[in-house]
Chain A
Amino acid sequence: MTNHKIEEVLESIWTAKEKGSSNINDIKRESKEEITVQEVDELVKSGLINTSGEKIDFTVKGEEDAKNVIRRHRLAERLLTDVLKRSVDETEETACEFEHFLAPEITQGICTLLGHPKTCPHGSTIPPGDCCLQARETVESVVIPLDRLHTGESAKVAYITTQSHPRLHKLLSFGFTPGLTIRLHQKSPTFIIECDKTQLALEKDIAKDIFVWKKEGA
């Protein structure tokens, strides 16, 4: 049984469980691929799941593995929709690929980049990783929308998440590219930011679309 297949089955068990069922038939319905009796047996032997009659339950190790698969899948969805602006339907296939090969460090990187999101674009919970728990203990997430920056703080533009092309073109033509260092000068009545010795005024609506890395200690 391939690694790929194991992860697919674990994923199906997780999603069925989220919907409140551990019944084998419900789990099979969640899966895109056929799940055979032999495969279930194999997972039991590997110590990932326990069965009793028609019910299937995770072992501690199995639950951990499943959580990581789900986490990679849903973070990938977030990445594709938020940063790359793909529609939710488009992302499914790519996210399914992602869930099998993302290394733990990269998963963590993506999670941090996205500001430790709590839900996927479909609204399901993204299981928190170590990075999320740490972030919650220290400060707020590192990447935040510009409107959550405090007046006087400096930050670096991470990415712009707007659906509107004219808005993006305009921001870019004002030199608003990722990597630009900015300082928030005021928030009301209109946002004013300083960058490259110039001041730019923009509305809150636009500020919400700009995600920045908050500068430590600034």
Chain B
Amino acid sequence: MNDKKEINILVAGGINVGKTSVCLGLARKNVYIASSASSKIRVNTEDFTYKGVRYNLFDTPGFNNLLNTSEDELKTKESLLNQRCNMIMHVANARHIMRSLITAVQLIEFDMPFILALNMMDEAEKFGNNINIQKLAKLLDVGVSPTIANEGAGIDNLRRSLINAKRSSLMVRYNPIIEKSLDKVKGILAPDIHFSRGLGILVLINDSFTIDWLRKNLDDKRFQDIMNVIASITGDVSLMVISTKTHFVKKLLAEVVHKDEIKKRPALELIGNLSTHKVYGILILGIVLTFLYLFVGKLGAELLVNFFDGTVFTNMLNPMFARALSFIPSSFVRDAFVGEYGMLTMGLRTALAILLPIIVAFYFAFSFLEDFGYMPRLSVLLNNMFRRIGLNGRAILPIILGFSCVTMATVSTRVLEERKERLITILILVLVIPCSAKLAVIVAILAPVSLIGIFIIVAVLLILMFISGFISSKIIPGASSDFIMEIFPLRIPSMKAVLFKTYRNSMFLLKEALPFFIYGSFCLFLLDKMGVLPFLDALFSPVVVDMLQLPPKFTEAYILSFFRGEAGIIILLDMAFNGQLSNIQIVVSVIVIIVSIPCMTNLLMIIKEYGLKFGLFLVMLIMPLSLLIGVLVNYVIRLLPFAL
């Protein structure tokens, strides 16, 4: 290995185990960005040079099990079969060590120099799993490096150990039928194709990708010989293989993992048990939501926002900006910075004084609940409900994440196993989930509206979620995946970890949003000065004025919301403050903007992950749908006997 100057490493592993963080860490890129983005930045290749050897890292999509045939596994299989790489680095999740090692044993069978990066060691330790690394390395006969990639821990060690990566001598023996067939396959492939037990197993389970590959790489006669071997096997190879491996790993783990007696905390255990109960669980969910509302809605969106927006910006900073820029003679230039749509008075203010306090409060609460261990319990509680719309409890996580940033949530739909589930979740995210930035402005604009008005908005969105989920689960082909989930005991959250996550996520979102807020207000300023806005208003007035019964200026908000939802609602907020919107109009316009496309970034991300066709389809579906729903709600609300 050492005499080669260039080594291509295939980076393989499960979904969300931190492959990208490990890659960026090894290449000494900024890990911080990668991890905070929830692998938003998709690194396909990274390279670095260490001690004169150039390493190219090929990051693959996460997969569950190489014996499965879903699209996620294809890329990894393709790289393994075509030997694009001459080393495998398996990034594994130490917390789910059993599943990780079954995959490791699978990858080792491909007979390449192998290195195991055991990531998320901190998580494993938190849950009382003490892993004896030396012993694990010895039993697997490979290099094992413990890492905590999102903090950069262990990455230097991993980089050093690459030079020593070697083929493992480990061999898991299968039953005689399989062993005999493997020998036959080896004999047939012998002169041309490098045989590995991993390849052999893929052949024996009649894996369609592998068989196609063989058809291209073998002459007809030998290909037929291979097919004869497959046909001659009675019994279920993949079942036999996986159970042999499971038994092997189970035995190995008994030697390697020592489980701490987790300190019994009867109170936490009781809360944990109650939170998945069909009745008490709902009660606890109610309490959690109330606290969430008080914390994010009252403390974040009212107290903090009032302080930063009112006291800090309106009373102190805005006049200061105005004074500082008063030397500029042109009122046009001055207005660009400190006017109605000024980059400082509107752009910077809304980003720092309205958006930031709310996302900080949201991420704090979210990280707290996550660290507490509540999220999986929510999945258990709501699984049956989600089943009705073609999803399972697992989908709750991306949907909750949507309340912080729909774009981030779109990326996190990767944790869902079936394409169908991902598409339904994205539809729900786009249609009904307002992100924290939008929520911030919505809370402000709803201040004069009665509880009934707020209730109507929530009810309309919930109904829409169920109808759209139900219909799409009938239309989109494919199956839903099984719901099996490990539930860890509740524990007292570590404040340090919660604060760190809050900081990281808020900073990431702010960096993303701040430039837009500033450019956005500049564009609005230009449109305003050029007199384009009244023209647009007139163009859309048949729908806006006649059908939605909203002021013509709503068009500006609607168009802007396409680029960034909260920017659209800020226009509405402005109108409401100036008394241009009645309470009914506020409710209708908020619903229309929530249902409409959340923001440009989100749309681009959907197109990137799921293709242009799906993205355009969503736009064509959602734009008219949002207006239609607005018209309906407006019509119904005006029939109600009480005021909002």
Q: Which residues of A contact B (CB under 8 A)?
A: 85, 164-175, 177, 185-186, 188-190, 192, 197-203, 205-206
In the complex, which of the residues B65, B239, B247 contacts A173, with contact meaning CB atoms closer than 8 Å? B65
Given contacts A166-B65, A190-B381, A203-B484, 7 further A-B contacts (CB under 8 A): A166-B68, A169-B238, A174-B486, A177-B247, A199-B488, A203-B392, A203-B483
- Minimum C-beta distance from A9 to chain B (A): 30
A175 touches B483 (CB 8 A): no
Known contacts: A165-B68, A199-B487. The answer to whether A189 contacts B250 by CB under 8 A is no
Check: B568 CB closer than 8 A to any chain A CB: no
Number of contacts between A and B (CB, 8 Å)? 105
Residues of A within 8 A of B376 (CB): 201
**Interface residues in B, total, Cβ within 8 A:** 40
In the complex, which of the residues B239, B392, B482, B488 contacts A170, with contact meaning CB atoms closer than 8 Å? B482
A201 touches B278 (CB 8 A): no
B68 touches A201 (CB 8 A): no
A93 to B204, CA, bound (A): 25
A198 to B65, CA, bound (A): 22
B381 touches A189 (CB 8 A): yes
In the complex, which of the residues A173, A189, A203, A206 contacts B98, with contact meaning CB atoms closer than 8 Å? A173
A170 to B484, CA, bound (A): 8
Proximity string of chain B (88-106) to chain A, C-beta cutoff 8 Å, 1 when within and 0 when not: 0000000000110010000
Nearest first, the 10 A-B pairs at minimum CB distance are A199-B487, A173-B99, A201-B380, A172-B246, A202-B484, A201-B485, A190-B380, A203-B483, A189-B278, A188-B278
A141 to B331, CA, bound (A): 89
Check: B379 CB closer than 8 A to any chain A CB: yes
Nearest B residue (CB) for A187: B278
A197 touches B259 (CB 8 A): yes
Check: B242 CB closer than 8 A to any chain A CB: yes
Highest count of chain A CB atoms <10 Å: which of B67, B262, B482, B488: B482
Residues of B within 8 A of A173 (CB): 65, 98-99, 102, 242, 246
Known contacts: A170-B482, A201-B487. The answer to whether A175 contacts B98 by CB under 8 A is yes
Proximity string of chain B (266-302) to chain A, C-beta cutoff 8 Å, 1 when within and 0 when not: 0000000100111001000000000000000000000
A42 to B486, CA, bound (A): 65
A169 touches B242 (CB 8 A): yes
B483 touches A174 (CB 8 A): no
Residues of B within 8 A of A206 (CB): 482-484
Q: Restricting to B541-587, which residues have a CB under 8 Å from any CB of A? A: none
In the complex, which of the residues A168, A170, A190 contacts B384, with contact meaning CB atoms closer than 8 Å? A190
B380 touches A189 (CB 8 A): yes
B380 touches A200 (CB 8 A): no
Contact sample, A vs B, 28 pairs, CB 8 Å cutoff: A164-B482, A165-B67, A166-B65, A167-B482, A168-B239, A169-B238, A172-B243, A172-B246, A173-B65, A173-B102, A173-B242, A177-B243, A188-B278, A189-B381, A189-B383, A190-B276, A197-B259, A198-B488, A200-B486, A201-B276, A201-B383, A201-B393, A201-B486, A203-B383, A203-B392, A203-B483, A203-B484, A206-B484
Residues of B within 8 A of A200 (CB): 484-487
Highest count of chain B CB atoms <10 Å: which of A167, A177, A189, A203: A189
Nearest A residue (CB) for B246: A172
A190 touches B484 (CB 8 A): no
